[in-house]
Amino acid sequence: MPASASLRSTQLIAVLAVTQLIGWGTTFDMVGALGRVIAPDLGLANEIVFGGLTIMMIVSALCGPTAGRWLARYGAARVLAASSVILAGGLLLLSMAQGIVVYAIAWILFGIGGALGLTAPAYTAVVEREGDNSKRVIAILMLFTGLSGAIFWPILSLLNAHLGWRSTFVLCAALHLCICLPLHLFCLPHPIGVRHDEAEKPAAPAPLPLADRRKAFILIATATTISTFVTFGLPPSLLEIFRQYGASPALALQIASARGVVGMSARLLDMVLGKRGNPVISAIVGVGLMVLSFGLMIVLPPSTSLLVSFILLYGFGSGVMAVARALLPLALFSPQEYGLQSSRLLLPQNLANAVAPVVFTAILDRTNAVSALAVAAVLVTLSLGSVIMLAVLVRGAKPDVQVA
């Protein structure tokens, strides 16, 4: 790769990594650190406060088609900039909340801003600027996705201890307006034309015959929806789970924050494997490690070493599964079908993301940490079964032969 192209890619990765970390860290991940601090001040139950995540995910799903049209019409930079303003507005509104109405409106803004600025719009910015190199850059960006909690949980906890949660949210809004907005408007490289060198090549054969694609889709949807239900629903409650297992608040924060770093190592390994990696095998390994992590927490007595072992297994497993979830449609369907199948898979996944934090918070508050972990263990076991069935289906299938 020429030096100038490498410099452009580095600049693009740096800008989007910073803005995505701030975007996720000050919205979705924020509740894990401050949710139980906000709840008593607003006179709300914990599950209602964590219900803001549900509002965010549902609104993001509903706004997705509009965000897609805006990305095509205005380009990613302007849409990302609009997201920075909207997320800042949500944080400022949240800092002034006195009850459920303003609190809910703030999360509606987070949902709109998330649709315009988190994950998919960032990847669109990459495609606009990298063309054929997009997959490599997106793979590198995925390394940073899981770090928002690891970075922002300690930061938000520290700010809350010194400033209070309302001033903390004002400062977070300033991050969006003073860092993310200028980066999106002025620091993204200019878009380039996408290369069409491969346009005349015949279409690649579909990895699965037509008769097996519906079965494969159902199995992928089942496995990924269940796994995302656990991986989105459990993290906001990890601090409380660790406290119930005897960890001090400081130790619980340290161990929980390590999840993102461990997940990042899993994504790095998958990126290093590159074409040698198999998404189906990766999914089996990832979900299998999650099953093992929950099993250990349920059967072994509480200890610091148990909590460390759990976060290593769970963090690595969920990190591997995150990569597999993105690549499974590409591995099992033709490239022409990838966009359609991925979009269809987003519906159950987004619904799962929307309700999962509330479900796990309610289980934890009404029973105990062991019950929450038992529910997670049952769910990921079902996900593992679906992935194994998918592996059997793929092993026994013969690809369609497409004639150009």
Cα-trace Rg, the chain: 21
The pLDDT-based confidence of 121 (bands split at 50, 70, 90) is confident
DSSP code, position 44:
-
Please give the structure tokens belonging to residue 304.
């610091």
Given the candidates 3.40.50.150, 3.40.50.300, 1.20.1250.20, 3.10.100.10, the CATH classification of the domain at 210-396 is 1.20.1250.20
Assess contact for 201 and 36: CB atoms under 8 A.
no
Q: How many angstroms separate the CA atoms of 387 and 224, rounded?
A: 9
Q: Measure the CA dihedral 374/378/384/386, to 10°.
A: -160
Query: Is residue 46 within 8 Å of 365, Cβ to Cβ?
Result: yes
Q: Hey, do 3-187 and 210-396 end up sharing a CATH topology, with the first three levels equal?
A: yes
**Model confidence pLDDT, tens digit, residues 48-77:** 898 898 899 888 888 877 887 788 788 889
Name residues whose C-beta falls within 8 Å of residue 231's C-beta, 6 or more positions apart in sequence: 318, 321, 322
H helix runs in 75-164, sequence order: 76-95, 100-117, 120-130, 134-145, 147-163
Q: What is the pTM of this model?
A: 0.69
What CA–CA distance (Å, rounded) separates 61 from 111?
A: 8
User: Of the ranges 31-45, 168-182, 345-359, which is most confident?
Assistant: 168-182
Query: Ranked by mean pLDDT, which of 80-89, 112-121, 360-369 comes out on top?
Result: 80-89
Residues 6+ apart with CB under 8 A from 77: 125, 184, 185, 188
The model's pLDDT over 366-375, given as tens digits with 9 standing for 90+, comes to 989 999 999 9
Of the two residues 287 and 273, the one the predictor is more confident about is 287
325 Cβ neighbours under 8 A, 6+ residues apart: 224, 227, 228, 283, 349
Q: Where are the domains of the chain?
A: 3-187, 210-396
Chain centroid to CA 229: 11
Give the chain's mean pLDDT. 83
Structure token pair of residue 251:
């130790």
pLDDT for 330 equals: 62
What are the tokens at 84?
A: 């920075």
CA dist 13 and 282 (Å) reads 25
pLDDT digits (tens, 9 = 90+) for 9-45: 889 999 999 999 999 999 988 998 899 899 999 999 8
Query: What confidence tier does 205 reach under pLDDT thresholds 50, 70, 90?
Result: very low
Over range 212-217, report the average pLDDT: 82
Q: How confident is the model at residue 353 (pLDDT cuts 50, 70, 90)?
A: confident
Provide CATH code, domain 3-187. Answer: 1.20.1250.20
Residue 103 predicted with pLDDT over 50: yes
Nearest to 29 by CA among 180, 151, 167, 164: 151
Q: Specify whether the CB–CB gap between 386 and 219 falls below 8 A.
A: yes
